[in-house]
Structure 1
Amino acid sequence: MDTRPLRAPAYRRLLLGQGVSFIGFQLTSVAVSAQVYDITRSSLWVGLLGPANLIPLVVFGLWGGAVADAVDRRRLLLTGSLVAWSATLALLLHAWSGLENVFLLLAVVAVQSTGFAITSPVRGAIIPRLVPTERVAAANTLNFLVSSVGTVLGPLLAGVVLAKSGYAMAYLIDVLLFGAGFYAAARLPRLVPLGEIRRPGLRSVIDGLRYIGSQPIVMMSFVVDLIAMAFAMPRALYPGIAAERFGGSAIAFGWLSASLAIGAVVAGLLSGWVGQVRRQGVALVVVVALWGLTVAAAAFARPLWMIVALLAVGGAIDLMSSVWRQTILQTYAPDEMRGRMQGVFMVVVAGGPRLGDLRAGATSSAFGLVPAWAGGGLLCAVLVVAAGLAVPAFRKYDAAAERVRRS
C-alpha cells in the first residue's frame, strides 16, 4: 500500500473517523434489510429499500454537491452527519417500541439517506485539499480500503449481534460508533471554497450536469458504474439466498453481506500498483466486465464458502474500479466543480446499487433468485463492453498525460 497520504494529520483523522463510523453504518444497513425481510418475508420489500434510499440520494446528493462548492465544507459535513445520526437513533427507538412497521422503516431509511447524500460528496471534495495532487489516487485507495474494512466488519458483526441480541442492539452500536466520524469532522480546518463561487441551487446543479455532458471521459466514468451496480449488484437477494439455501442463518447472511468487502480489503492491502495505471478508461471497461461475470458465476455456486469467495473476487475488482473512477473525477475537474462532481458521483455510486436492489428484487419475484442474480451479471458484462467501444476518448484516456497537460 501507498500510505504517504497518512502523513497529513487532517486526512489521517478523517480516514480513521470515517472507518470507525462506517462499521456502524454497515451494521445498520444489514440490520435494516434483515428486519424488513423478517417483517414481510419478501425480497421485493427488501428491494424497495433501494428507492427509499435512491430518491433522497439524487435530490440531496446533487444539492449537497452544489452547496459544497459554495460554503465551508467542514460545516456542511457536520450538518449532514447529524441528520444521518438522528435517523439511526429513530431506528433504535422503532426497534425498542416493537412496532414492526415496514413503512416507518422505509421513511427513516430515506432520512438516513439524506444525511449520507449531504456528507458523501463533501468528503470526496475535501480530499484534494488535504493531500497533494500526486497522492490523491493513494488517498482514494486508502478511503476505499477503510470503507471496505467497515463493510466486512459491519455485516459480520451484524450476523453475531442479530443472532444474539436483536435489532435494537445493532442500532445502538451504530449510534455509539458515530461519534468517531463526528470528532474527525469537527477537527478539520475551515475549508472555504476556491475559485468562482455560485449560489447553490438549481442553476448551480444544472451547470454541474452540463459540465459532465460536455466531458465524455467524466460522463463514461459514471456510465460504467451505473451499469455495474444497476445490473449486477446482488445484495437484495442475500436474505432470500440465506433463507432458501442456508435455513435462514443470520451468520450465513452476515458472510454474504460481507463478501464483496472482504475482497476489497485484500485488494486494498495489495493496492500499491493501482495508482500507477495510466490507461484508466480501458482498465475500467475490463474490470467492470469481469465484475459482471464473477457475480454471475456466484449465482450457481452452492456451498457458502464458494459464493463468498466468488463475490470476494468481485469486491476486489470493484475496489480497483472505484479508485480509478474517483481519481478521474478529482483530478480532471477544477476545484470549483469538485463538490458537484462528487455529488453526482455519490448519486451514481450509492444510487446505482439501490437501482440494483430494486431490479434484483423485482426480477427475483418474477423469475426466481438464480435467474435474477446470474442474468444481471451477464447483462452487465455485455453492456459495459458495448459502452466502452462506443466512446474512443474514454478508452484512450491516459491519466499521466492528463496530469502533465493540466500542470
Structure 2
Amino acid sequence: MTDSENPGEAEHDSPGTPPDAPRTGIFADLTPLKRSPAFARLWGGNAVAGIGTQMTIVAIGLHIYDLTASTFAVSLVALFALVPMLVFGLYGGMLADAFDRRKLALVTAVIAWSSTVTLAILAWLHVEQVWPFYLVMTINTVAATVLGTTRQAILPRLLPIELLPAASALTGISAGVMVTVGPALAGVLVATVGVQWTFTTDVVLFAFAFAGIASLPKIEPQGEVRSTGFASIMEGLRFLKTAPNIRMSFIVDIVAMTFGQPRVMFPAVGTLLLGGGAITVGVLTAGVAVGAFITSVFSGRLGALRRQGLAIRNSIAVFGAATLAFGVVLLIAALSGGVASEQQVNWPALIAATLCMVVAGGADNVSSIFRMTLLQASAPDAMRGRIQGVFTVVVTGGPRVGDLVAGAVTALTALWVPPLFGGILIVLIVWMLVRTHPRFANYDALDPQR
C-alpha cells in the first residue's frame, strides 16, 4: 500500500509540506495538535477517559484493602493480571500489525468499558468476595493493554518523525492530568460517597475515549500483511535481537519499575504511618502525576536533545534517588511511631513524601518521552505494532511486578524497606548497564539506529 492510499498518513505526508523542526523553547511544543486534527482528537479523548481509569485503579486498591486489610491482597490485583497482560500485550501488538488499528482500538475499548461497568455493578451490589474484583480487573487490564499498544502504534502514522518527541511530551501532559485529577478525585469520592460512584464516574468518562478513536481515519497495515499467529509474534521478538538500543530501553525501564514502585503500599502508608487514609493515597499518587505534568509542560527543549540514551540513563537515576528518598521519609516516620489513626496526619512527612513522588514522576516521564521516541523513530511501521506490544508489556507489566515485589517485601519486613533499598538498586544497576553498552549511551536522535 502506498502512502497516498492511506488516509491516516495523508495528514503529515502531504506533498510540498515542509517538515516541522523541533522547537527549542521552554514550554511544550503544541505543533502536533495543530498539525494533525486526528492526533488532537485521540489525545483529548484519551486524556479525559484516562482520568476515570486512574480513579478506578486507586479505588480498586482502596476497596480491596478495605475488604481484607492486607497490602499483599492489594498486590494480588497485579499478580492475577500479570500473565494474561503479558500474553495479550504481545498478541495485541501482532494484531496491530495485521488489521486496521482504528477498528482494533474500538473493539478493545468496548471490552475495557464493559469491564468497568461490571466493576460498578459489583460495587453497587455490595459484593464482599474479592475474587470477582480480581477477575474483572484482569479483563480490564488485558483490554487496556491491547488498546494502549494499538493507540501508540497509531501515532507515527498521524505525525512526522520530527514531531514524535513533542507528541510524547504532550502524552506526558495528558498522563499528568489523568494521574493528578483521577487519584485525587478517587480519594475524595471513595471517602465521601463510596467506590460505587467512583466506578460509575469512570463508566461515564470512558465515552470520550470512544469519541477520540471513532473519529480516526483508517489505519490499515502497510506492505505485506502477516498472519495472526505465534510465528508473527516470534518474528517481532526476533527483531529485538537486531535492535540493541530498543532492547536496552526496555531493560532499564524494567529495572526501574521492578524496584521503584511503591504505589501498592500507599493504602497502608495512609493508615499506619502518615495518616489521612484515602486522601493520603490520592495525594501521593497525584504527586507522581504532578511531576510528569511539570516536566511535560516545560519539555520544549527536549526535542532538540540528541543523546537520548544518556538522557534515559540520567532520568532513571534521578527516579531511583527520589524513590530512595521516599523510603527514608517512611523510615523516619516509622521510627517516630507512625500515627494512631487515619484521622491524624503527619503533615511534614506527608509533604516530604509527596515531593519525593513529584520528583520521581517527573524523572520517569522524561525517561518515557525518550524511550517512546527511540522506539517510534527506530522501528519500521510493519514491525511497530509488535515492538509496541513488547513496550506496552514492559511499561504496564513492570509496575505490576513492582507491585508484587513491594507487597511481598513489605509483608516480610517493613513499609520503608522496598523504596529505600529499591532506589539504591535502580541507580547502581542502570548505571552499570549503560556503562557496559556504549552504543546505547551514544544513541543519536539525528541518526536513529535501533
**What's the TM-score once normalised by structure 1's chain length?**
0.97
**What is the 5 A alignment of 1:46-57?**
46-57=74-85
Residue matched to 2:62: 34
Residue matched to 2:201: 173
Is the CA contact (8 Å cut-off) linking 1:239 and 1:248 kept in structure 2? no
Is the CA contact (8 Å cut-off) linking 1:56 and 1:117 kept in structure 2? no
The CA RMSD measured in Å over matched residues stands at 1.2
Question: Structure 2 CA distance, aligned partners of 1:192 and 1:48?
Answer: 38
**What is the 5 A alignment of 1:295-310?**
295-301=323-329, 302=333, 303-310=349-356
Please say if 1:272 is aligned against 2:300.
yes
- The letter for the 1-side match of 2:244 is P
Please say if 1:221 is aligned against 2:249.
yes
Question: Structure 2 CA distance, aligned partners of 1:361 and 1:142?
Answer: 32
Query: Which of the two has greater helix per residue?
Result: 1
Question: Structure 1 CA distance, aligned partners of 2:55 and 2:84?
Answer: 21
Please say if 1:283 is aligned against 2:329.
no
Unaligned runs of 5+ in 2: 1-27, 334-348
Is the CA contact (8 Å cut-off) linking 2:175 and 2:292 kept in structure 1? no
Rg larger in structure = 2
**What is the 5 A alignment of 1:156-235?**
156-235=184-263
Q: 1:157 deviation in Å?
A: 0.2
Deviations 1:73-114 (A, max 9, x none): 000000000111111011101101111211111111100011
Q: 1:246 deviation in Å?
A: 3.3
Q: Percent identity, please.
A: 40
Residue matched to 1:343: 389
Deviations 1:128-164 (A, max 9, x none): 1111111011111101210121011000001110111
| Corresponding residue to 1:96 among 105, 124, 139 | 124
Is the CA contact (8 Å cut-off) linking 1:195 and 1:336 kept in structure 2? yes
**What's the TM-score once normalised by structure 2's chain length?**
0.88
Question: Structure 2 CA distance, aligned partners of 1:305 and 1:251?
Answer: 13
Q: Structure 1 stretch 269-278 or stretch 19-28: which is displaced more?
A: 269-278
- The letter for the 2-side match of 1:346 is T
Deviations 1:201-243 (A, max 9, x none): 2111111111012211010010011001011111111111111
Q: Any idea what SS the aligned residue of 2:300 has?
A: coil
| Corresponding residue to 1:2 among 17, 29, 36 | 29
Q: Any idea what SS the aligned residue of 1:20 has?
A: helix
Please say if 1:45 is aligned against 2:73.
yes
Deviations 1:12-48 (A, max 9, x none): 0000000000000000000000011111111111111
Question: Structure 2 CA distance, aligned partners of 1:401 and 1:67?
Answer: 29
Residue matched to 1:84: 112
Residue matched to 1:294: 322
- The letter for the 2-side match of 1:344 is V
Question: Structure 2 CA distance, aligned partners of 1:81 and 1:275?
Answer: 31
Is the CA contact (8 Å cut-off) linking 1:80 and 1:115 kept in structure 2? yes
Q: Any idea what SS the aligned residue of 1:189 has?
A: coil
Question: Structure 2 CA distance, aligned partners of 1:159 and 1:56?
Answer: 28
Q: 1:248 deviation in Å?
A: 5.0
Is the CA contact (8 Å cut-off) linking 2:100 and 2:221 kept in structure 1? yes
The number of equivalent residue pairs is 404
Question: Structure 2 CA distance, aligned partners of 1:402 and 1:106?
Answer: 41
- The letter for the 2-side match of 1:119 is L
**What is the 5 A alignment of 1:100-115?**
100-115=128-143
Please say if 1:125 is aligned against 2:153.
yes
Question: Structure 1 CA distance, aligned partners of 2:363 and 2:232?
Answer: 34
| Corresponding residue to 1:246 among 274, 279, 284 | 274
Please say if 1:391 is aligned against 2:437.
yes
Is the CA contact (8 Å cut-off) linking 1:222 and 1:348 kept in structure 2? yes
Question: Structure 2 CA distance, aligned partners of 1:292 and 1:53?
Answer: 26
Residue matched to 1:401: 447
- The letter for the 2-side match of 1:382 is L
Question: Structure 1 CA distance, aligned partners of 2:84 and 2:141?
Answer: 6
Question: Structure 2 CA distance, aligned partners of 1:125 and 1:340?
Answer: 9
Q: 1:56 deviation in Å?
A: 2.2
Q: 1:174 deviation in Å?
A: 0.2
**What is the 5 A alignment of 1:305-384?**
305-384=351-430
Question: Structure 2 CA distance, aligned partners of 1:282 and 1:351?
Answer: 24
Question: Structure 2 CA distance, aligned partners of 1:376 and 1:201?
Answer: 38
Question: Structure 2 CA distance, aligned partners of 1:145 and 1:205?
Answer: 32
Question: Structure 2 CA distance, aligned partners of 1:248 and 1:307?
Answer: 13
Is the CA contact (8 Å cut-off) linking 2:254 and 2:394 kept in structure 1? yes
Question: Structure 1 CA distance, aligned partners of 2:236 and 2:81?
Answer: 22
Q: Structure 1 stretch 246-255 or stretch 172-181: which is displaced more?
A: 246-255
Is the CA contact (8 Å cut-off) linking 1:50 and 1:356 kept in structure 2? no
Is the CA contact (8 Å cut-off) linking 1:68 and 1:339 kept in structure 2? yes
Q: Any idea what SS the aligned residue of 2:91 has?
A: helix
Unaligned runs of 5+ in 1: none
Question: Structure 1 CA distance, aligned partners of 2:80 and 2:298?
Answer: 36
